[in-house]
């Protein structure tokens, strides 16, 4: 389980993803994945036959939520941020809301629940925990269910549903935009892991307001759910990170491509922001950055030594992956090519 933490300098948060049934090591940094070999993986995603993916909301608000916009409207907007992404084939449909499901331990199988008041969820990992997403997998990279739970009483924080709602009802509390949290959690719902790209929705530390996708988020969602007719052609950047001078491979380096030009192939889409696009290296040091539009890039490699570290990805708690049993390497400084 990844904890959500509040950091004093900008009240960013770590948004959490909790994997149930099958705990999957994450090889690329954007999509969650299931290992298929010592240097191979299968991206975790909903099967094509599951679309449109049905989700169900309990619209009952906790006392931590304020604002005139309904929570259902906020969640619909957050889902739309992902389903309208270019080069992506993804659809969802909402069932009529219900207030009868209030215990996370009694959610019916196949129900993809969004809940603000559910009990049976452990938010104690950190004082700043805001939300958790649970995903259920068959162990072969196929997601069968995902549920999103918001903390009904996050410490010193409240959720606001619109910019006009003002601050928190309790003096001294900090306002956190509900759609920002929901958009991040829905990324987990679709099978995306955390990202090391600072301005990505899936970056584990988020500002109080951010509801558009970065190139990095787009690379993740369009790789997992590719459109049969992409509007912007994309490619890959591949390579290997080795340790000098002996040439030994570097495992779990965060590698990202950063454009060196003013080109913006997705400029026509107002919900997409230009950012670097990243991934992690496999045990043999190789990497593939997917979802890359045509451009000139500087490729950089950095260690997971903070603020994003190995605990921000699903393999993280110990520092060895359950599949590879190999130490995540952080004994190097940032390099670029």
DSSP state at residue 245: T
Of 190, 220, 250, the residue at which a domain comes to its end is: 220
Indicate whether 39 belongs to any domain: yes
Indicate whether 180 belongs to any domain: yes
State the CATH number of the domain containing residue 79: 3.40.390.10
Domain that holds residue 266: 231-336
The per-residue pLDDT string of the chain (337 residues; one tens digit each, 9 = 90 and over) reads: 333 333 322 333 333 333 333 323 233 455 666 666 667 667 789 998 899 999 999 999 999 999 999 999 999 999 999 999 999 999 999 999 999 999 999 999 999 999 999 999 988 766 567 899 998 887 778 999 999 999 998 887 889 998 666 667 765 678 889 999 999 999 999 999 888 898 999 988 767 789 999 999 999 999 999 999 999 999 999 999 998 888 899 888 899 999 999 999 999 999 999 999 999 888 889 999 999 999 999 999 999 887 877 666 554 434 444 555 567 778 888 877 6
Decide: 111 and 145 in contact? Cβ < 8 Å: yes
Distance of alpha carbon 10 from alpha carbon 198, whole angstroms: 14
Indicate whether 7 belongs to any domain: no
Enumerate the β-bridge partners of residue 282: none
State the CATH number of the domain containing residue 278: 2.60.40
Indicate whether 147 belongs to any domain: yes
User: Quick one: tokens of 322?
Assistant: 């359950």
Indicate whether 297 belongs to any domain: yes
Judging by beta carbons within 10 Å of its beta carbon (0-12, 13-18, 19+), is residue 1 exposed, middle or buried? middle
Domain total in the chain: 2
Indicate whether 10 belongs to any domain: no
Which pTM does this prediction carry? 0.88
């Amino acid at each position: 389980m990844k904890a959500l933490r509040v950091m004093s300098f900008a009240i960013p948060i770590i948004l959490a993803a909790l994997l149930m049934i099958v705990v999957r090591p994450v090889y690329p940094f954007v999509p969650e994945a299931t290992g298929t070999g010592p240097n191979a993986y299968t991206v975790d995603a909903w099967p094509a036959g599951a679309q449109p993916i049905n989700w169900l909301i309990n619209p009952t608000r906790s006392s931590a939520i304020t604002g005139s916009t309904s929570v259902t409207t906020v969640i619909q907007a957050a889902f739309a941020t992902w389903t309208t992404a270019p080069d992506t084939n993804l659809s969802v449909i909402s069932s009529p809301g219900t207030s009868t499901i209030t215990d996370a331990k009694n959610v019916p199988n196949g129900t993809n629940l969004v809940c603000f008041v559910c009990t049976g969820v452990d938010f104690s990992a950190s004082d700043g925990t805001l939300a958790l997403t649970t995903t259920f997998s068959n162990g072969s990279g196929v997601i069968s269910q995902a549920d999103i739970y918001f903390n009904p009483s996050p410490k010193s924080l409240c959720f606001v549903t619109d910019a006009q709602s003002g601050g928190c009802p309790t003096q001294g509390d900090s306002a956190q935009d509900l759609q920002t949290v929901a958009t991040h959690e829905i990324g987990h719902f679709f099978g995306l892991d955390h990202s090391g790209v600072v301005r990505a929705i899936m970056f584990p530390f988020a500002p109080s307001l951010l509801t558009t996708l970065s190139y990095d988020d787009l690379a993740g969602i369009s790789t997992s759910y590719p459109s049969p007719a992409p509007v912007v052609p994309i490619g890959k950047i591949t390579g290997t990170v080795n340790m000098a001078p002996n040439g030994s491979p570097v495992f779990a380096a965060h590698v990202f491509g950063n454009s060196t030009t003013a080109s913006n192939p997705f400029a026509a889409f107002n919900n997409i922001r230009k950012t670097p696009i990243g991934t992690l290296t496999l045990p043999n040091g190789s990497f593939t950055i997917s979802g890359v539009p045509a451009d000139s890039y500087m490729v950089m490699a950095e260690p997971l030594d903070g603020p994003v570290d190995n605990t921000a990805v699903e393999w993280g708690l110990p520092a060895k992956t359950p599949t590879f049993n190999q130490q995540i390497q952080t004994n190097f400084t940032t390099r670029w090519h």
